[in-house]
Amino acid sequence: MAIIIKTQDEIEKMRIAGRLAAELLDYITPFVKAGTTTDELNTLCHDYQTQVQGCIPAPLGYGNPPYPKSICTSLNSVVCHGIPDNKPLKNGDILNIDVTVIKDGFHGDSSRMFCVGEVSPIAQRLIKITHECMMIGIEKVKPGAFFGDIGYAIAKHAENNGYSVVQEFCGHGVGRRFHEEPQVLHYGQKGTGAELKPGMIFTIEPMINQGKRHIKIAADGWTVQTKDRSLSAQWEHEVLVTDTGYEILTISPMTGEP
């Protein structure tokens, strides 16, 4: 299966799905505070997307074993795919919320980092550098570039700052299906991999660890943790390759910031 080039009509639907994912993250932002449980965040997001936005939560029932919730909540040393539970958030926690909405058959997939109360400078730095890694990857996107250019730039920035890049999970093509070709690695060599072409849409979603890159998967079949229990951060955007560069489809309507 080749990488899908979206039509103008499909691109318009992906813009709508992307905006809805970003609006859902804007909606949940004020609820992320000490004392709230990730289960409560899950219920709020589920109800908002189904009842207000008219969307379907793509994570619910996805994969094998079927993912049990409507969002992913990855706390502190959880790298990705954390399952919402009934434990209250506490001051100093760092949390990634990853939402994927389906609107009119198309997927809007985005995630952000959230700070609970006052977070250590060490954790703040990890969050900031991880956002820079995502943006440095996005800035490589233009026709004629290669997927390896993106991965190379991300890993270089992470490693220059003393961090490591998770290799087992990656970005992905996205559209009518949640995970399409290609796999968008967050490490690699310049000039390698497929060539970027206008109309491709994919995510860039680096997972950056404070310690070593190695991970382990919990007995629930989903929760991914750093093996050394160091902190991990992740940000995710959907990106369209345009004729001259890129368009981020999941920019926050609230702040206008990527």
CB 76 within 8 A of CB 91: no
Binding piece for ligand MF3, criterion CB under 6 A, among 59-67, 129-137, 189-197, 237-245:
59-67
Residues in region 202-241 near ligand MF3 by CB under 6 A = 203, 205, 222, 236
Decide: 246 and 142 in contact? Cβ < 8 Å: yes
Which residue lies nearer to ligand MF3 by CB, 117 or 181?
Answer: 181
Q: One symbol per residue from 113 to 132: x for binding ligand MF3 (CB under 6 A), - otherwise; what is it?
A: --------------------
Q: What is the rounded distance in angstroms from the CA atom of residue 100 to the CA atom of residue 20? A: 9
Under the binding rule (CB under 6 A), the answer on residue 63 touching ligand MF3 is: yes
β-sheet bridge partners, residue 115 = 94
Per partner kind, with CB cut-offs from 5 to 8 A, the member of ligand MF3, Co ion, none near residue 63 is ligand MF3
CA distance 172 to 207: 13
> Are 258 and 225 within 8 A, CB to CB?
no
Residues in 236-255 at the binding interface with Co ion, rule: CB under 5 A: 236
State the minimum distance, in angstroms, from the CB of residue 131 to ligand MF3: 16
Rank residues 68 and 92 by Cβ distance to Co ion and give the closer one: 68
Q: Is 57 in the site for ligand MF3 (CB under 6 A)?
A: no
Tell me which residues in 45-84 interact with Co ion (CB under 5 A): none
CA distance 181 to 154: 20
- Based on the shown chain and the rule CB under 5 A, indicate whether residue 203 belongs to the binding site for Co ion: yes
Out of 109, 149, 180, 247, name the contact with Co ion by CB under 5 A: 109
**What is the phi-psi region of residue 64: left when phi exceeds 0, alpha when psi lies from -120 to 50, beta otherwise?**
beta
- Binding of ligand MF3 at residue 173 (CB under 6 A)? no
Q: Are strands 232-234 and 224-226 parallel, antiparallel or unpaired?
A: unpaired
Residue 205 beta carbon to ligand MF3: minimum distance, rounded to whole angstroms: 5
CB of 117 to ligand MF3, least distance (A): 26
Q: Please give the torsion angle defined by the CA atoms of residues 93, 133, 6 and 73, in that order, rounded to the nearest 10 degrees.
A: -10
Under DSSP, is residue 136 helix (H, G, I), strand (E, B) or coil? helix
- Which region, judged by CB under 5 A, interacts with Co ion, from 54-62, 73-81, 85-93, 233-241? 233-241
118: DSSP letter: S
Residue closest to ligand MF3 when measured from CB atoms:
59
Pair 233, 94: CB distance under 8 Å: yes
Q: For residue 66, which amino acid is it?
A: P
Site membership for ligand MF3, residue 55 (CB under 6 A) = no
d(CA 83, CA 69): 7
Using CB under 6 A, list all residues that contact ligand MF3: 59, 62-63, 67, 72, 81, 98, 100, 109, 203, 205, 222, 236
Using CB under 5 A, list all residues that contact Co ion: 98, 109, 203, 236
